[in-house]
Amino acid sequence: MTAVIDAKGLAKTYDLGGEKVEALKAADLLVQPGEYAAIMGPSGSGKSTLMNLLGCLDTPTAGTYRLDGQDVSGLSDDGLAEIRSRKVGFVFQTFNLLPRFTALANVELPLVYAGVAPKDRRSRAEEALARVGLGDRMGHRPSELSGGQRQRVAVARALVNRPTLLLADEPTGNLDSKVGDEILTLFESLNAQGVTLLVITHDAKVAARAPRKLEILDGRIVSDRA
């Protein structure tokens, strides 16, 4: 079976005019299809840096990375964009919905860049919204939705292209704990349907729900427990 994530010695060093910031130091990580893992660590420890590398938003300064069996190290900007489009779904702490567009239009967005024919987009976006329990809110704009509902729209958007890997960076960070729990429950039901899930958090309670927990400190993965 091909691992979804197969990273060896992955590192990211920022060069701030002479001063080097090692945001991530030689991380090794293997994640199999269908896994649900939490990456935990304090603020500034390198969690987002790791997620950006795993999601092909950024390129490492050292190490190799195979996503779903494909070596992405030498890919061009366009190649990375294509990987993001086809294989990765992102969920952000701040939702990142386009405020002037309806929930449906927001969810259709990744389909545009994946080259899905316009006539198929709507039905697929509706299906994804129904999956996150927002079948009755499709015509609403983000400002007309609660925080939890907004994050559900974001989850639907991350799902709509049927990605190999779902990456969530502090997905409950802007939600109160009850709504945060609902979002985690949604993630878990998606994972139960086979989606590979990586949740990044600084909250131990959030991490505790995942079967596999990794801890990151000062850019280094310091523990990996099941």
Partner 1 sequence: MRAGLSDAASTAWAEIRASRFRSLLTMAGVVLGVASVILLVSLGDGAKRYVEKKFAELGTNVLIVVPGHSETTGGSMPIVAGSEHLLTLEDAWEMSRRCPAVKAVSPVVVGNGTVRAQGRNRDVTVLGVTWEFQEVRNVRADMGVFLPKRREEWGRRVAVIGRRVQRELFAGQNPLGRRLEVAGVVHRVVGVMEAKGYSLGFDFDDLVLIPVKSAQSVFNQEGLFEVVASARTPERLDEAGQQIRACLKRRHNGAEDFTLLNQDDMLSTFGAILDSLTWALGAIAAISLLVAGFGVMNIMLASVGERTREIGLRMALGARRSQILLQFLLEAAALGSLGGAAGVALGVGGAVGLHLVFPGMPLAVAPWAVVSAFSFSVGVGLVFGVVPARRASRLDPIAALRHE
Per rule CB under 8 A, is residue 60 in the interface with partner 1? no
CB of 85 to partner 1, least distance (A): 3
Binding segment toward Mg ion, per CB under 5 A, in 26-34, 40-48, 118-126, 182-190:
40-48
Please report, as a single letter, which amino acid is at residue 217: L
- Is beta strand 62-67 parallel, antiparallel or unpaired with respect to 220-225? unpaired
Q: How many CB atoms lie within 10 A of CB 62?
A: 13
Place of tokens 């609902």: 182
How distant, in Å, are the alpha carbons of 10, 59, 72 from that of 65?
Answer: 7, 10, 6
Binding segment toward partner 1, per CB under 8 A, in 96-104, 122-130, 170-178, 202-210:
96-104
Binding segment toward Mg ion, per CB under 5 A, in 46-54, 80-88, 129-137, 149-157:
46-54
- DSSP characters for 46-95? SHHHHHHHHTTSS--SEEEEEETTEE-TT--HHHHHHHHHHHEEEE-TT-
Q: Which helix (H) or strand (E) holds 36?
A: strand 36-40
Per rule CB under 6 A, is residue 222 in the interface with ligand ADP? no
Please report, as a single letter, which amino acid is at residue 195: V
Per rule CB under 5 A, is residue 48 in the interface with Mg ion? yes
**Per-residue x/- mask for partner 1, residues 98 to 137, rule CB under 8 A?**
x-xx---x---xx-xxxx--x-------------------
Per rule CB under 8 A, is residue 92 in the interface with partner 1? yes
Instruction: Answer with the entry of Mg ion, ligand ADP, partner 1, none that 65 interacts with (C-beta below 5 to 8 A by kind).
Output: none
Residues that bind partner 1 (CB under 8 A): 52, 55, 57-58, 77-78, 81-82, 84-86, 90, 92, 96, 98, 100-101, 105, 109-110, 112-115, 118, 157, 161
